[in-house]
């Protein structure tokens, strides 16, 4: 504080000396006025220093602490960002491997699905073949039965025609009597 006061006084006196030389070298410098102003200025500086020293000091300490805290926070944020960047770089380097692995899995699953669909289609084809074969066999049996029935009808009709042409009314009477006799024997 004393050093500041001495600096101010020396500046004031050098300013006064410069003003005196400009005035043409007259020695009519108002020393008493300069002294009063210097004393007033010194008192003002002293009062300001006395009253503002603690608040200014506290403000500067608080400001310095705030700057340190900001620097520490920025360092932590930078460290965190660097870790995140490293993590992202690691994930990016593994990403191509993950994509290749996913492609391999998809190809394997696609091949398995293709095989499963192929097997399911073959099973369905076999089932349909069995159904068609069964239906065809049933139709063949039905057709054979129909042919047998028609053949039996045709045979019966042909036999009837042959019998009607070859049997005479006397043969019919004789056959009827024989059948009646047989029935009587059965009834008794």
Boundaries of every domain in the chain: 2-146
Structure confidence by residue, pLDDT tens digits, 109-147: 999 999 999 999 899 999 999 999 998 899 899 988 888
Q: Sort residue 177 into left (φ over 0), alpha (ψ -120 to 50) or beta.
A: alpha
Contact 42, 5 (CB under 8 A): yes
Indicate if the pLDDT at residue 11 is higher than 70.
Answer: no
Between 167 and 104, the more confident residue is: 104
Using alpha carbons, select from 57, 51, 61, 46 the residue that is nearest to residue 1: 46
27 pLDDT more than 90: no
- pTM of the full predicted structure? 0.35
Q: Name the residue with higher pLDDT: 160 or 41.
A: 41
Residue 27 backbone phi and psi in degrees, to 5: -95, 25
What is the CA 21 to chain-centroid distance, rounded? Answer: 87
pLDDT, tens only, 83-97: 999 988 888 888 888
* High-pLDDT (> 90) share of the chain, %: 30
Long-range contacts of 48-51 (CB under 8 A, 24+ apart): 49/1
- Looking at residue 21, its pLDDT comes to 58
Higher local confidence (pLDDT), 104 or 157: 104
pLDDT per residue as tens digits for the range 151-161: 888 887 877 77
Residue 68: which pLDDT band, with cuts at 50, 70 and 90? Answer: very high
pLDDT, residue 158, reads 79
Residue 6 has pLDDT above 80, yes or no: no
> What's the mean per-residue pLDDT of the chain?
83
- Write down the pLDDT at residue 33: 87
What does the alpha-carbon distance between residue 179 and residue 186 come to, in Å, rounded to a whole number?
11
């Amino acid at each position: 504080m004393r050093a500041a006061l001495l600096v101010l006084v020396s500046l004031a006196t050098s300013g006064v000396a410069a003003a005196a030389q400009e005035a043409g070298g007259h020695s009519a410098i108002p020393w008493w006025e300069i002294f009063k102003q210097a004393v007033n200025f010194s008192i003002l500086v002293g009062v300001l220093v006395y009253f503002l020293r603690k608040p200014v000091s506290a403000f500067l300490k608080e400001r310095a602490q705030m700057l340190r805290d900001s620097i520490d926070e920025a360092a932590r944020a930078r460290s965190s960002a660097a870790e995140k960047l490293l993590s992202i770089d690691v994930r990016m380097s593994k990403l191509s491997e993950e994509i290749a692995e996913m492609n391999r899995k998809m190809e394997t699953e696609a091949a398995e699905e293709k095989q499963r669909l192929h097997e399911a289609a073959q099973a369905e084809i076999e089932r349909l073949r069995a159904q068609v074969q069964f239906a065809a066999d049933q139709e063949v049996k039905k057709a054979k039965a129909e042919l047998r029935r028609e053949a039996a009808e045709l045979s019966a009709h042909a036999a009837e025609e042959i019998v009607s042409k070859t049997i005479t009314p006397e043969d019919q009477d004789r056959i009827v009597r024989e059948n009646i006799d047989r029935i009587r024997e059965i009834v008794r």
